[in-house]
Structure 1
Amino acid sequence: MIDHLPTIPGFTLAPHRHLGETRAVYRRGHGPAVIVMSEIPGITPQVATFATTLADAGFSVWMPQLFGTPLQPITLPYLTRSVLRICISKEFSVLAANQSSPIVDWLRALAREAHEACGGPGVGAVGMCLTGNFGLAMMLDAPVIAPVLSQPSLPVPVPGRRDALHVSPKELAAAHDKIDQHGARILGLRFHGDPLCAPSRFERLRREFGDAFEGIEIDACHGNREGFGTPHSVLTTHLIDEAGQPTRAALDRTLAFLREQLVT
């Protein structure tokens, strides 16, 4: 099932089977495990660059192929096709406010495997956009103690759901338990004015988790204007990877956060 997938320079590619479902996972690096879950439309060149940065910083990156075509650049037709496929997929529940997407069960199993292989106090999980809240849900029944929620966009921000977290009450309780019993913390990233990730969602995270949630919000004028669309993707498409740039500071803080939580 991986023969048709492109290689990503520096990464190995292998099938991983969990819960009767086999998916390809790109891996690179050594150290504590970090699950990288790509944004729509897939593992773009920018997502692969971010994963490479994590590996070079001393982490073992596990990046599952969830949707799209790896390394295909973002275009409007490609983005549209990916969104339509996600909307009809049984693995993603784009409107669910108080439950996570079914694919999270598979990702939890991958996190358990990664922890067993890599050791350490726990696992990091970086989600972006569509997958942005998945790390929060993965704190249930998996050793995730360092979730990074980058522009978390589910549920789709319709009226009445702009502050929803796309997690069940049981998953929310598990996150509190990980914080209280295992020292877990949560990092969130977004651009001001991002219509897919409303400020009320970060306000909810602050009310829910208090000091255990660290939210970084960046003025949209500091997003990479050469990136596709309006500023949205803090760590990838709209990152300006230059010293002194707020998005570069957010990337640096992400790396530091993962070290604080995972490196003993």
Structure 2
Amino acid sequence: MGALDSWTPGEHTAPIDGRATTHPTYRKGTGPGVIVVHEMPGLTDGVIAFAEEVVAAGYTVVLPHLFGPKERPFGVGDILRTLPGVCISREFTKIARHRTAPVASWLRSLAAELHAELGGPGVGALGMCFTGGYALAMMVEDATVAPVLCQPSTPFPIGRERGADVGLDAEDLDVVRRRAGAGCPVLGVRYRQDSATGTRFDTLTRELGEHFVRIELEGKGHSTVTEHRQQRAVDAVLEFLSDRLR
């Protein structure tokens, strides 16, 4: 039995850089909407298990499948097979500074559609690792009211400037600042010694002030809610979603 067998398959189509793009989605649960964007290398068993926890807490969860395998344990081999294709894809940014990933427009459209269906104050958005900053980019869409950044790792922290970059162009960063200042906080979760996140938490604190809520775990782990899951991280995410969506 596959980890997604109890989930309802679907798809979403929206423009990316002016070109209609379709990605599969999986949906489960009832209640306010939450979009969980998977990490590298794909829609792994660990990501699905975390999403099940969100469903159990009383949410309608949508899992977009953007790249890589699905329903497999996390594996280095899958990373090595997936990363080359992602690196040449125009949907994703890898090392460019001050640039929003083009796939953000697709994710914003998904959030708007989910909110239009479910109503309420808005939807939650959670990205992790390679997609960690995408929830921040989704804030440009007003429907996204509970953005969660788990160990955001792009642009890859090659050098000090990339390590501090939050993966947004100047216009989108202005929108995020405005929305945060108007009362839409951002939750960030990482291991304190995780070099993959660079210094972008410091950048977000500088840009958003008290509206950036930092949860920093001790140790040298990386995947805060999946492979190196800590209950403190999961509890913080669920509390944040409840505060913002209920």
Q: So what's the TM-score if we normalise by structure 2?
A: 0.94
SS at match of 2:232: helix
**Residue of structure 2 in register with 1:135 after alignment:** 135
**Residue of structure 2 in register with 1:236 after alignment:** 226
**Residue of structure 2 in register with 1:194 after alignment:** 194
SS at match of 2:10: strand
1:180–1:193: structure 2 CA closer, same or farther, 3 Å change rule?
A: closer
Deviation at 1:162, TM superposition (A): 0.9
CA distance in 1, matches of 2:232, 2:158: 31
Deviation at 1:88, TM superposition (A): 1.1
Counterpart mapping for 1:103-182 below 5 A: 103-159=103-159, 160-181=161-182
CA RMSD after TM alignment: 1.3
SS at match of 2:243: helix
CA distance in 1, matches of 2:131, 2:27: 19
**Residue of structure 1 in register with 2:244 after alignment:** 261
Structure 1: runs of 5 or more not aligned: 1-5, 222-230, 240-246
CA distance in 1, matches of 2:153, 2:142: 22
Structure 2: runs of 5 or more not aligned: none
SS at match of 2:178: helix
The answer to whether the 8 Å contact 2:128/2:151 transfers is yes
1:162 corresponds to which letter in structure 2? G
1:256 corresponds to which letter in structure 2? E
Counterpart mapping for 1:1-264 below 5 A: 8-19=4-15, 20-159=20-159, 160-181=161-182, 183-198=183-198, 200-220=199-219, 231-239=221-229, 247-263=230-246
Deviation at 1:81, TM superposition (A): 1.1
The answer to whether the 8 Å contact 1:35/1:111 transfers is yes
Deviation at 1:10, TM superposition (A): 2.2
Identity of aligned residues (%): 38
Deviation at 1:142, TM superposition (A): 4.1
1:122–1:234: structure 2 CA closer, same or farther, 3 Å change rule?
A: same
Residues 92-148 of structure 1: CA deviation (Å, up to 9, x unaligned): 110122111111111110000010111111111000011100111111134111110
Residues 140-163 of structure 1: CA deviation (Å, up to 9, x unaligned): 134111110000001110112111
1:232 corresponds to which letter in structure 2? H
Name which of structure 1's ranges 25-34 and 141-150 shifts more when overlaid on structure 2. Answer: 141-150
Give the number of equivalent residue pairs.
Answer: 240
Name which of structure 1's ranges 149-158 and 6-15 shifts more when overlaid on structure 2. Answer: 6-15
Deviation at 1:74, TM superposition (A): 2.0
The answer to whether the 8 Å contact 1:7/1:13 transfers is no
CA distance in 2, matches of 1:142, 1:79: 33
The ranges of structure 1 where at least 4 consecutive aligned residues each deviate by more than 6 angstroms after the TM superposition are: none
CA distance in 2, matches of 1:135, 1:10: 25
CA distance in 2, matches of 1:149, 1:44: 18
CA distance in 2, matches of 1:207, 1:98: 16
SS at match of 2:241: helix
CA distance in 2, matches of 1:24, 1:204: 33
The answer to whether the 8 Å contact 1:111/1:142 transfers is no
2:83 corresponds to which letter in structure 1? V
CA distance in 2, matches of 1:139, 1:67: 22
Residues 192-211 of structure 1: CA deviation (Å, up to 9, x unaligned): 2212112x211111111111
1:168 corresponds to which letter in structure 2? D
Deviation at 1:33, TM superposition (A): 0.9
